[in-house]
Amino acid sequence: MLHEPGERLDRLARDVIRAALEVHRNLGPGFPEGVYERALALELAERRVPFERQVSLAVQYKGKCVGEWRADLLVGGALVVELKSVEQLAAVHVAQLVAYLKAIDCRLGLLINFDVPLLRDGIRRVVQSSH
């Protein structure tokens, strides 16, 4: 059964999407992912949206840490945002975000691909299904 995230997560997601739209409106497609990450960080800070960049998070397996990965952005301590600058999002990008959400027990993630003419076509909202 799929339960939607709460209002706080939805609000954070809307804030991130609005900020990403502003970044895309100003920069357009074509830059490397890191450029968009830095620009989005500036935009989020200007809007006073709480976030951390390149957050190192542990991956647990049967109660043991087996590695770590870095989230591009962790917003409000609860929303994972993965950024891409690719011609087209692939199924593996969504699968990676789902794995990240499960690994740290987060309910909601955003996958944002800036290398598209219209950013709304590059945004995927991913909800982790309940256990």
Q: Residue 31's domain is classified under what CATH number?
A: 3.40.1350
Does 101 map to a domain? yes
Q: How many domains does the chain have?
A: 1
* 131 band by pLDDT with thresholds 50, 70 and 90: very low
**What pTM was computed for the model?**
0.89
In this prediction, residues 34-39 reach a mean pLDDT of: 98
> Averaged over 54-81, what is the pLDDT?
90
Reported as a single tens digit per residue, the pLDDT across 12-28 is 999 999 999 999 999 99
CA 91 to chain centre: 15
Phi-psi region for residue 82, left (φ > 0), alpha (ψ -120 to 50) or beta?
A: beta
Q: State the average pLDDT over residues 73-81.
A: 94
pLDDT of residue 82: 97
- Find out whether 12 and 99 touch, Cβ atoms under 8 Å: no
pLDDT at res. 130:
59
The answer to whether residue 1 is domain-embedded is no
Q: Which domain holds residue 113?
A: 7-127
Is residue 79 in some structural domain? yes
The predicted pLDDT at position 19 comes to 98
Interatomic CA distance for residues 71 and 50, integer angstroms: 15
